[in-house]
Structure 1
């Protein structure tokens, strides 16, 4: 539906909230990270495939910081800001910084540093999609990008982050 914001994360059946990480690490976690929020041509767990160039119109005239960085697609939980967002041959390449002066940003950074979370996922509105010949899959041709989240379970297996020193 054109007016619906879609997200690309999956919920774990029966999952429960994890406890908070231990307070007071000796060294603060890295504040910056990079990765791919979406991979072109890869079918995600919902059957969608994002076409190269799908984000181009959405990114024109928009600063990276205008796209929200959220925790698990929750608009009430911003955890940092995007420094760079661009399409390349592989997909939607992103560089971000955790807001370490907030509890949510510190928690996200600590969990990423511990290797407990490394998934990235997009929240978007579909502007143009086409069905594959079999009709089972949707090819996302034009996407209006709203947010990119750190998630436990990304819809695309290779949509992951790497911490930067």
Structure 2
């Protein structure tokens, strides 16, 4: 029997600058999620594309940002390791992998405002590019 670790949290926060000077506008993920749903968004550990670690059961935009809920599965060594680190509190970041479809500079010209992205994956990470993107619930 496969065991799993349920997680949920914000993978992106609207109007919040990340360490790469990107800001996600509200609605930036809507079209991508309408096309693929949560099932089209891969769950990875540290953006390692060759080794998925689980599945996202829900990915939605709310008033705060991109909220995700999913399950890390123990069927691979990476899944077991990632789940153990999440349960221990050693890893609690979330980070998005995407392709920019539409963006514009902000009023200052220093930040890039992402207005539409194609969301490929949400990774569980040690150090998220957006410091506030964190797992908020582990079950």
Q: Could you list the runs of 4 or more consecutive aligned residues of structure 1 that deviate by over 2 angstroms after TM superposition?
A: 162-165
Q: 1:107 aligns to what?
A: 81
In structure 2, the residue matched to 1:57 is 31
Equivalence for 2:19: 45
- Give 3-state SS (helix, strand or coil) of 1:53's partner: coil
2:58 aligns with one of 81, 84, 103: 84
Task: Name whichever structure is richer in helix by fraction.
Answer: 2
- Which stretches in structure 1 are left out of the alignment for 5+ residues? 1-28
- SS across alignment from 1:59: helix
TM-score, structure 1 length as denominator? 0.79
Name the one with the larger strand percent. Answer: 2
Which of 1 and 2 has greater Rg?
1
| Cα displacement string for residues 107-158 of structure 1 (whole angstroms, at most 9, x for unaligned residues) | 1110001111000000000010000122111000001101110111001111
TM-score, length basis structure 2: 0.93
Distance 1:74 1:138 in 2: 25
> 2-side partners of 1:112 and 1:30: how far apart?
12
